[in-house]
Chain A
Amino acid sequence: MTLPAGVYAQTYDEDQALVRTGPQWLWLIGFLIFIFVLPLFGGGRIVGIMNVIGITLIAVVGLQINAGYGGQINLGQSAFMGVGAYASGAMTLHLNLPIWITIPVAGVAAALFGSVFGVAAVRIKGFYLALTTIAAQFVFSFAMIKLPKSWFGQAEGLRLDPVSIFGFEFDTDRRMYYLIMVIAVIMIYGAWGLIRSRTGRALVSVRDNDNAAEIIGIDVFFYKSLSFFIGAFYAGVAGALWGYYVRYIQADQFTLWLSVWYLGMLIVGGMGSILGAIIGTVVIRVLQEMITFLGPQLAGIELFAGVGGEIIFASMNMLLGGIIILFVIFEPRGLVHRWNIIKESYRIWPFPH
């Protein structure tokens, strides 16, 4: 009698399962426990970095659905995040609504704003669409500065007190960490489910060839708008968390530059993969932290005194841009592709990949 080799599914449910093997379950549970206990052992710096990574991750995963799966280039993700931040801030400040209402509603507000640009995507593509989404950035800033002060505070912005849920106040970095991580896990799980669903397949078909997709009966208009709606929803949720974390919301915090970074994270991680979005976000954020740490250190070292601080600072600044260029040239499918090769090689070992 011969035994089957490798992992294979015997039922449709098994085939569709997100986690397919025992070791995968073990890794997942171990990882979740690690995330849970990290702030208990990690210092303040780690918690701060993780909080920003968590918030950024939600926005970048949303952008992955929009750009990576839906194929709609989007340079307005930061503006959509801003809409979410302002919406949740205003609801908390003026209506005193609890965060389990304000966070999803902020997502919907950003999604509605994002859908407006999704409508444009039906007629335009590529660079033209990129320019349209850049407009979102300017419309957002202008609106937030010009709308009545009693709504969004105009130039003064919105200042918030720590939020709470059922009497539990999120007034420290560690407490915010748990709120951010719980929501990030839910959003990432949702994204994974979505891309494996009928909607996800429709988005991919529109991305790959929208004419062919239309011929096989996919409503291109609907799915292009939907990809913006979902992407902006994620950004809105991330914006709400940002607002509650920093407790001060101002239009200047949500720049075009930030949207460009989000796209850079996707390029480094890998377009069209949720795991790619996660890897890209973590790698770029960690690199930024390293530069943040190394810049002052190098400038203070005697060995580099002759080089001049300005050259070190400029080099540090160019490093991040250089990494993105290198990825585009040498690994356009991103780090996730490398990861997949490593996984495949491990699975068929000792045979060569």
Chain B
Amino acid sequence: MKKTLLLVMFLLIGLSLTAGPAFAEATKYKVPVISDFSGAYAELFKTWVPVHKAIFAWWNDKVGKELGVELDLKHYDGRYDSTVIASMWPGILADCQPIIALGGGGADVAALQQRLPQDKVPVIYGTASYGYGWLPNQWLFQVRPTYLQEFMTAFVWYTQQHPEKKPVKLGIMSAQITAALDIVKGIEKYFKDSLEPKGIAKIVATEYVDINPVDVSSQMKKIIDAKADVVIGPVTTAMSTAYIRACQMYGVNIPTIASPHHTIFPYARAMKTYEPFEGHMVVAAHVSITDKTSKTYEFFQDLVKNYGLDEKFWNVYSMMAVNQSILAVRAVEHAAKKFGPTGLTGEKVYEAILAEPFTTEELMGSLPSLYFTKDAPFSTKNLKVMIETVKDGKYVLATPDWVPIPTDIEKW
């Protein structure tokens, strides 16, 4: 009898546990991602999408569950086309009522930048910024400062490594497109305001080529004749390939400074060798993929083991998605802690982004601590980068530490 009573009691307890939820049900929010599945950058999104999914799954599991928030990713194909994105966005607002969104790049910035303050949706980007995007009161947030700030940090670091070359002679190779011209303009201003008066460096040649050139040998000849020590400029894989071919033709090796996704990594992926880029530099304000002792790599391994992410996605492209996703989930986390898990809005998330910094620990070591203000769409404090290079045919860190971005770079 006693046994039967006990059995019934256990059964009742078990039933009550399975019938009612163990925790209060999480509040679901849809997070739209403006992706590119069939446009110019579809190749990039093949690596971004799995990373987005894994990080959001990890956050829902590890943080969201406890907070009572569940984030549901929804990818939209913007085709990296402003017209498609402009037509799609009102539908995204209606479908998702987003409290935050992930952006793809320049095409959606062009289509959405002006309307975001009215729509009240903060949008997070994983790429670096431009001078023309350095504006106050933005609802788009970038994990990295401007490309120019990153490039100039690597350049100044290079001048410090080679005091014998003072003034270091810089060659610029650029294309006649808005983004590339913005960088040239910024370099010229910084040289004029700071580096030339101090006798640190001077610009000796500025050459323009196609954005995806087949051959840059004639422009390269002028840069060689001007005796440039370093070149800033290759912003596409085609440009960097043509640059290397021209260097080989003339029997020179003038190091370049570029972003990780511009030169060394994409070239090596295609050509299966890092050697032509011996001594060249790539720079970004996020952790280096060459550092496998980093907290970010440890985090990535957790995603591989427990959230179905493929190891092959540890590369320079997916770092942009890692940074973007981690900032987005932490922004929602800040908002949920500040305002509670229910009734979150884009405005509340925006307030939370500006209210408190995001520490490097929160960002899984992938980014330096970020301090967003209304002055710029990126953090303007505690800016630093990591510089990578090719040494003895291996892709390695040029210096093991984060390098601070010079504070005297002003908006151009």
Contacts and interface: CB of A to CB of B under 8 A. Distances in A.
A44 B76 CA distance: 15
B347 interface: no
A299 B94 contact: no
A327 interface: no
A317 B42 contact: yes
B90 A145 contact: no
A337 interface: no
A44 B94 contact: yes
A45 B37 contact: no
Given A246-B114, A252-B106, A258 B178 contact: no
Nearest to A172: B118
B37 A295 contact: yes
Interface in A235-289: 245-248, 250-253, 258, 285, 288-289
A160 B94 contact: no
Interface stretch (B77-85, B235-243, B274-282): B77-85
Given A44-B90, A252-B178, A246 B111 contact: yes
Contact of A291 (B38, B49, B111, B131): B38
A292 B78 contact: yes
Nearest to B87: A52
Interface string B68-82: 000000011111001
A155 B183 CA distance: 10
A316 interface: yes
B182 A171 contact: no
A144 to B, nearest CB: 9
B90 A47 contact: yes
B132 A156 contact: yes
Contacts of A292: 38, 76-79, 84, 88
Given A52-B87, A157-B132, A310 B113 contact: no
Minimum-distance CB pairs A-B, first 6: A45-B91, A44-B94, A48-B90, A247-B114, A44-B90, A52-B87
25 contacts: A44-B90, A44-B92, A44-B93, A48-B86, A49-B88, A52-B86, A56-B83, A141-B176, A142-B176, A155-B130, A155-B131, A155-B179, A159-B113, A246-B86, A252-B106, A252-B178, A253-B82, A258-B83, A288-B79, A291-B38, A296-B76, A314-B38, A316-B37, A316-B77, A317-B38
Interface of B: 35, 37-39, 42-43, 46, 49, 75-79, 82-84, 86-95, 106, 110-111, 113-115, 118, 130-132, 176-179, 181-182, 185
